[in-house]
Chains A and B, each alone.
Chain A
Amino acid sequence: MLVVTQISNPNITLKSARLRIWRGTSLENGRYEEFDVAFEDGDSVLDGLVRLRYSVAPDLAFQFSCFNANVCKECVMMIDGKADYACIAKLKTGLTQLDPIPEQRVLRDLLVDTQECDRRGATLRHQILSIR
């Protein structure tokens, strides 16, 4: 597993992904920012986001906890227009667009407010994602 802060193995071929990420605190008031991130085949979108947070974009807001196991269900977002878990979706060369999930109040960047759903005990993230 790659360490978060550096890619240190000289034997591995590195590729570059461009992430186009929605940023802002309300849908009316945001912009897209693009970042290039180095990756190894198999790395997840979440790996890329964490790598950005530990380097050039330390205040990029997204939610995650378990990092690898796809069990906390916190990292759901729109990836190229389709809802998915960032920890499972894989990085690819070329452009990948990341947006917050729709119809929820945006808190910041890729973070949405799920308190209402959490209070009702609903599993919004599970409803959006009928797979996995």
Chain B
Amino acid sequence: MEVPSVLRTNVLVVGGGAAGMFAAIYAARHGAQVILLDKNTVGRGGATVMAQMTCASALGEIEADSPELHLRDTLDAGRGLCNEKLATLLCDGSPQLIRELVSWNVDWARQHNGKINQVTAPGHSRKRCVYVDYLRTGAAICEALRLQVSRDSGIRVLNNVCVTDIVTRGGELIGAVGFDIATSGLLIVQANAVILCSGGMMKMFQRTTAPNNNSGDGLGMALRAGAQLIDIEFLQFYPNGHLAPRMVGLDPTTWEPTRVKLGGRLINGEGEEFLSKYDADGGEGYTTTRDLLTHAIYREVAAGRGSPHGGVYLSFQHIPAAEIRRALGPVLDIFARNNIDLTKRPVEVFPIAHYQMGGIEVNARMETQIPGLYAAGEIVGGANGANRLSGNALPEAMVFGACAGERAGKSIKNKPVPSWPAHIGAPHLDIIRRVRERRKAKGQAPTHMLGELKEIMWKKVGAFRTADGLIEARKRISTMRHAELDELTIPPETIHNTSLVEWFELRSGLQAAEAVAVAGLNRRESRGAHQRLDFPETCDDYRTNQRIWLADGEISSSFKRCLS
């Protein structure tokens, strides 16, 4: 029988985006030996690298600002559900990390006087968002972090590893198991601490901005290890997701900064501007926060006033061509390659699944309820409440990653790496063996189930929900989880078996998806990004937080106000 590879380390970081890379750097800085791994390539494969434009930070370089003001804006956007301690941590911690990135050669865009340029974004009361340039902010941050990681002899980087389960003993974490994707070889990592930085679950929606790896792995692992999720029903749908014509080479979220920067107009299929019908502040909608925009666009399309592909138009035709060219520069060439000429024709946009506000519950030290298990980044719930401000995702990843790394590193002090009693990892490894060795006759493949799950989530657990839809979704997901997952066909390949990875994505993703359906059903109100067509009002009884956990393999929940 194959013997698993065994690695031993102080801190295992699962996921190599901004959160994971900062966690690794800060853990190593505090003396820990670190393994940093990713399903793809550390520093390339997640959401951070795709981030465009906005990173919120109360630097006060352009106008007076403070972390307290940033916090106030964050709490307002969060519609009463923010974990105030986590939100404070995010706002307080962002400026220092922006400056640390300067020391790592991230070239934030600057004014002529040398000060870091800061722009406004919807929901922010001050000019607060920094950026590298129109396209490269995430890539630039990742490049700097990859370099720092590679220079640190305390950090060992592993690419193409799929972690499948956290392992505990007596309720305390002792490490994790998984497999090397290149060879399907079993892997044990014995560790004092694990930091889950594997991002959100937004891949599980048919229409999404999420990268291919963000399938909810860490959520499932945390649930199975006995940790809790908080407010997982709050998933953000980005209002101006690109819809048509087909555009490649730019992220589908490119229209938000473009619309805000240039003053694009949202127009329905009948040629009318419509935002003022839905937003009391209305104006031209540039300050309309994301949940209100999503609501407005859905409503117009549902009322039969949509564009040809089922969205609304975003038009820049009223803006002089010279101004468009000046503002967008080289991006216009990418538009041209995609047959998009903003001076002549509008594009079509429609909401698109984007980001996970809810997630694993942690305290202000990024600790879960499981001693030794931490979480950081998008996977964490609570900082942004019911709705996230534009620009808060990068600071969340960076600040929480640094915090988790520091805490984990400090907590290790002189503790030996746990050795595992014989066979303690066996049940978890056996699952990998069983799935890997399955030789079924032709049947459904994991991608077929993934396709169905993405469709269910998009149609029934999406931006606008009803009791009927959520109940149907939950029922179907539960059947997939309990009865059909184990019947999927896995081809007998050992080398880079994508179906094997996708099976494990489904194992966790189905749990996360069912959690969202249950949580959405339980919250009988509309608030922020969670919108119920059958309960359209915001209700004070629900100014409280919802926890989800697994009890005997079933999704359980309760409401309790988070004591911040």
Contacts and interface: CB of A to CB of B under 8 A. Distances in A.
Nearest to B497: A59
B46 A65 contact: yes
B246 A2 contact: yes
Contacts of B249: 68-70, 87-88, 132
A81 interface: no
B445 interface: yes
B447 A53 contact: yes
B141 to A, nearest CB: 12
A115 B38 CA distance: 13
A25 B445 contact: no
Contacts of B182: 107, 113
Nearest to A107: B496
Contacts of B251: 66, 68-69, 71
Interface string A37-48: 000111110110
B512 interface: no
B304 interface: no
B212 A64 contact: yes
B493 A59 contact: yes
A89 to B, nearest CB: 9
Interface in A65-95: 65-74, 87-88, 90
A15 B157 CA distance: 44
Contacts of B44: 65, 72-74
B313 to A, nearest CB: 16
A87 B248 CA distance: 7
Nearest to B206: A3
Contact of A66 (B211, B458, B493, B499): B211
Contacts of A42: 245-248, 338-339
A70 B248 contact: yes
B491 interface: yes
B180 to A, nearest CB: 11
Nearest to A25: B495
A74 B447 CA distance: 20
B310 interface: yes
Given A58-B445, A71-B138, A118 B159 contact: yes
A87 B448 CA distance: 22
A51 to B, nearest CB: 10
A32 interface: no
Interface in A1-31: 1-5, 9, 11, 25
A72 B339 contact: no
Interface string B481-497: 00000000001010111
B139 interface: yes
Given A1-B207, A1-B243, A107-B495, A11 B450 contact: no
B482 to A, nearest CB: 22
Contacts of B447: 53-55, 58
Contacts of A70: 248-250
Contacts of B310: 9
B560 interface: no
A42 B135 CA distance: 21
A74 B40 contact: yes
Contacts of B135: 71
B46 A4 contact: no
Interface in B223-278: 241-252
A88 B248 contact: yes
Most chain B CB neighbours (cut-off 10 Å) among A41, A66, A118: A66
A72 B49 contact: yes
Interface in B22-70: 40-41, 44-46, 49-50
Contact of A40 (B242, B243, B246, B458): B246
A79 B212 CA distance: 22
B496 A61 contact: yes
A111 interface: yes
B394 to A, nearest CB: 15
A65 B45 contact: yes
Contacts of B207: 1, 3
Interface in B188-212: 206-207, 209, 211-212
A54 B50 contact: no
A108 B493 contact: yes
Nearest to B44: A72
Contacts of B329: none
Contacts of A53: 447, 498
B455 A5 contact: yes
Interface in A81-124: 87-88, 90, 107-108, 111, 113-115, 118, 121
A42 B334 CA distance: 13
11 contacts: A1-B241, A2-B246, A40-B246, A54-B451, A58-B447, A61-B498, A65-B211, A71-B135, A74-B45, A90-B248, A132-B249
Given A47-B248, A68-B209, 12 more contacts: A1-B207, A5-B206, A41-B246, A44-B248, A60-B498, A65-B211, A69-B251, A71-B139, A74-B44, A115-B159, A118-B159, A121-B150
